[in-house]
Amino acid sequence: MIRGLYTAASAMVLGDTQMNVIAHNLANASTNGFYRQLLIQQGSGGQEVQRNDGTRTVPIGDLATAVIAEELFVDTSQGSLIETGNVFDLAIEGEGFFAARTPRGIRYTRCGALALSPEGSLVTEQGYHVQGLNGDIQLEKAEFSVSPSGEIFQEDLIDKLQIVRIPREALLAEGHSFYALKSMEGVELAEDCMVVQGTLEQTNVSVIEEMVRMISAVRAYETAQRLITAQDEVLGFAVEIGKVS
């Protein structure tokens, strides 16, 4: 019975975490370049279950007594591209991330809503320096063009955008559509993606799908809550029977 309380409690903890993840996705449903996150779940506290057929004990398998949140999974499916006509808006069609120099080091993003700093640097909305193959990208004026391969021109070639292909298992979300790297394994320059100027990539969050997932998470949480209440009442009856005895 006590084991049932712990199992139901673990389901409530997982449900709370799941609702937080979904709420974060919904809060970024209009954030350009945001990739939704999914929660990977795993059974825990397993014990071997056996069956006795009268003559011998036969192993049946492992029974998980709890479920826990293992890690967050970043869904890197392409978001919709929307045309803006702004030369500072860039989108990547295919796999790849823009690189930007931040106070925490190099970070990566799919949000190509860029701007020109007072010093003439190409920067993100947060003021982080967008990286080219030669480092910070410096522009002589606000008019420039970007080729599908990421080359930046102002009459002559200025630099080429540093676009990096990153395995999704290496992505660590940091907020504002920026990602750090858990490891450098599999990270390389992206060669087969295409840069589209005057366009932004929208989030891949589907509000309807997230709301359905939220309703399911809430119902699972409430079910686990009712199970704890029911088991607590049964334990109360057991204690009363023990007192009478």
Token reading at 108: 């990566």
Yes or no: say if 111 and 130 are a contact pair by the CB < 8 Å rule.
Answer: no
- Torsion, Cα 220 213 74 147, to 10 degrees, reads 180
pLDDT of residue 243: 61
Q: Does residue 43 have a pLDDT over 90?
A: no
Per-residue model confidence as pLDDT tens digits over 12-21: 888 999 999 9
Q: Mean pLDDT over residues 58-86, rounded?
A: 83
Mean pLDDT of 74-101: 96
Identify the residue with better confidence: 66 or 38: 38
Q: What is the pLDDT of residue 45?
A: 60
Give the pLDDT of residue 68: 77
Count of CB atoms within 10 A of residue 136's CB? 17
Which residues neighbour 172 within 8 Å (Cβ) at sequence distance 6 or greater?
179, 180, 181, 182
| pLDDT higher at 237 or 117 | 117
pLDDT band at 41 (very low <50, low <70, confident <90, very high): confident
pLDDT category at 141 given cuts 50, 70, 90 is: confident
CA 239/CA 232 separation, integer angstroms: 11
Q: What is the pLDDT of residue 10?
A: 84
Q: Please give the mean pLDDT across all residues of the chain.
A: 89
Pairwise CA distance, residues 245 & 239, whole Å: 10
User: How would you class 124 by CB atoms within 10 Å of its CB: exposed for 0-12, middle for 13-18, buried for 19 or more?
Assistant: buried
Q: What is the pLDDT of residue 208?
A: 97
How far apart, in whole angstroms, are the C-alpha atoms of residue 104 and residue 102? Answer: 5
Please report which confidence band the pLDDT of residue 93 belongs to, taking 50, 70 and 90 as the band edges: very high
Distance CA 235, CA 245 (A): 15
Structure confidence at residue 241 (pLDDT): 67
Residue 117 pLDDT more than 60?
yes
Q: What's the pTM value of the predicted model, to 2 decimals?
A: 0.81
Q: Which token pair is 178? A: 């920026």
From residue 203, how far is each of 52, 94, 98, 113 by CA, in Å? 54, 14, 15, 13
